[in-house]
Chains A and B, each alone.
Chain A
Amino acid sequence: AQKVTQAQTEISVVEKEDVTLDCVYETRDTTYYLFWYKQPPSGELVFLIRRNSFDEQNEISGRYSWNFQKSTSSFNFTITASQVVDSAVYFCALLPGGGNKLTFGTGTQLKVEL
């Protein structure tokens, strides 16, 4: 069985602060993929990143960075110098290798205020 836990329900920060969104997953598969999606108030899920279970290199894309640690089954997401436009619900999701069903966490609502 697959499970994704996002323990932080809501985070509020002031613009320009750094913020980290936590994601912990459970799976028995040796090959799997992890994803982060952003859901702004408009409702559309926006794909941010995919990570393979066999590639633990951290990744940076502009103000976004991801820290994947298999030893702790975590795939955390950091936004540096947050902006008001980053306000959204962020979902972490897990896809088993060869599978088709994404398992999502319950999401973290990020509010960035001026």
Chain B
Amino acid sequence: DTGVSQDPRHKITKRGQNVTFRCDPISEHNRLYWYRQTLGQGPEFLTYFQNEAQLEKSRLLSDRFSAERPKGSFSTLEIQRTEQGDSAMYLCASSLGKPREGGTSYNEQFFGPGTRLTVL
């Protein structure tokens, strides 16, 4: 397994367009997270899934944002009617979510390379 992957790595769009990002987590991980990072700031939590269920959403996730994880594997994050303020790095992470027998490292979140969105 090569880790968390995200596609595309870069996206430039015009204001008002819709965009969709994809995240493929580490295969044995049942939890998947989306974060947003703006310049000079740390990542901020957007939402997370346990398997296919979306269990928590941040107030940052306006109604123009929707995330899915239809089969509990990959996830998509869609932004409708993009605005210039949506320009940021969108990071995906995954974790085991439950202790593995004999192991203790179950809640470490491993991040993908991110999708950098620029809205013109």
Chain A residues engaging chain B, CB cutoff 8 angstroms: 4, 33, 35, 37, 42-47, 50, 91, 93, 95, 100-107
| Residues of B in contact, count (CB < 8 Å) | 26
Choice from B33, B56, B58, B108 contacting A50 with Cβ under 8 Å = B108
A53 to B31, CA, bound (A): 22
- A106 to B108, Cβ gap below 8 A? no
Query: For residue B115, which residue of chain A has the nearest CB?
Result: A43
Chain B residues engaging chain A, CB cutoff 8 angstroms: 31, 33, 35, 40-45, 48, 55-56, 58, 89, 91, 93, 105, 107-114, 116
Q: Which of A4, A47, A95, A102 has most chain B Cβ within 10 Å?
A: A102
A84 to B26, CA, bound (A): 30
Known: A42-B113, A104-B42. A50 touches B105 (CB 8 A): yes
Known: A33-B107, A100-B48. A106 touches B41 (CB 8 A): yes
Chain A interface mostly: strand
- B56 to A100, Cβ gap below 8 A? yes
Known: A100-B55, A101-B56. A45 touches B45 (CB 8 A): no
Chain B residues near A35 (CB-CB < 8 A): 108
Q: From residue B38, how far is it (CB to closest CB) to chain A in Å?
A: 11
A113 to B89, CA, bound (A): 27
Query: For residue A9, which residue of chain B has the nearest CB?
Result: B40
Q: From residue A74, how far is it (CB to closest CB) to chain B in Å?
A: 17
Query: For residue B55, which residue of chain A has the nearest CB?
Result: A100
Q: From residue B113, how far is it (CB to closest CB) to chain A in Å?
A: 4
A103 to B44, CA, bound (A): 7
- A44 to B41, Cβ gap below 8 A? no
Choice from B31, B40, B43, B55 contacting A45 with Cβ under 8 Å = B43
- B44 to A104, Cβ gap below 8 A? yes
Choice from A102, A105, A106 contacting B45 with Cβ under 8 Å = A102
